Amino acid sequence: MVLSAIGPTLPYALAVAFSPFPIVGAILVARSPHGMPALVSNTIGWIVGLAAAAIVMAVLVNTVGGGDDGPITNWVRIVVGLALLWAAWRKFHGRPQAGEEPKVPGWLEAFGKASPMRAFVLGAALAGANPKNLALALAAMSALDYSEISRGDVLAGIVAFVIVGSISVLAVLLGRAVGGSRLDGTLAAAEEFMIRNNAVIMMMVFALIGMNVLGAGLAGLDR
């Protein structure tokens, strides 16, 4: 039964992991004057924030949905799916045109000069207070059938969601720890790629996950 709790969360966790801004944030921290101490704090903050989001959503779905795969749970899936499709349309509509420089959120600059404590707070906020992550965590936790699995299985699903959702920021941490300053060029190139292609990446993620969640909700109502 553990696998039945882990498997449904993985697509949503991958969508969290490969969102551009968490990766860019980790790269900015890695290249900041505070270096590894701030990067470690940022990674821990990210994990804590993502875990908090997943736990809150699991409790919410289990409470509101009554612990089974009933109409309420499926309507939650439909609403989340439609919200993700709307976000995909927004990303498509707002994508940079040919020759236009992509817009970089001003708050990302804070990562490049954050102290270890500040980096922890930024990582936790980016993981746990980001509407996109909250929607994906809600989708992941609503994919579980709480009437068929134990609390331990639910915990395993949450742990899997957090670990897989953190692989990109963990990869930046591991790369910096092993490669040191030799990776500065690679990290800078990755940062530029993620910023330039953010709209396209997120449009595809939102569209694919949104269709999956919407389809699951509609299929559930038909049972």
From first to last of its 223 residues, the chain has per-residue pLDDT tens of 688 788 889 989 998 998 888 999 999 998 888 889 999 999 999 999 999 999 999 998 888 765 566 777 788 888 888 988 998 898 887 776 666 666 767 778 889 888 999 999 999 999 999 888 998 999 899 888 777 788 889 999 999 999 999 999 999 999 888 877 777 788 888 888 888 887 888 888 889 888 988 888 888 777 6
What's the confidence (pLDDT) of residue 18? 87
CB atoms closer than 10 angstroms to residue 213: 29
Instruction: Tell me which amino acid residue 49 is.
Output: G
| Domain of 12, in residue numbers | 2-221
Predicted pLDDT of residue 46:
97
* pLDDT recorded at residue 63: 83
> Can you give the pLDDT at residue 126?
93
Rounded to the nearest 5 degrees, what angle is found at the Cα of 161, between the Cα atoms of 41 and 142? 130
What total of structural domains would you count in the chain? 1
For residue 30, what are the CA distances in angstroms to 108, 163, 187, 205, 210? 13, 20, 9, 26, 32
**Do 202 and 21 meet the contact criterion of CB atoms below 8 Å apart?**
no
Predicted local confidence at residue 3, as pLDDT: 80
pLDDT score recorded for residue 52? 97
Q: How far apart are the first and last CA of the chain?
A: 22
pLDDT of residue 50: 97
Query: What's the rounded Cα separation, in Å, for the pair 62 and 55?
Result: 11
Distance CA(78)–CA(218), nearest Å, equals 7
Which pTM value belongs to this model?
0.86
Separation CA 17–CA 48 (nearest Å): 14
pLDDT at 172: 92
Alpha-carbon torsion 177, 181, 183, 188, what sign? positive
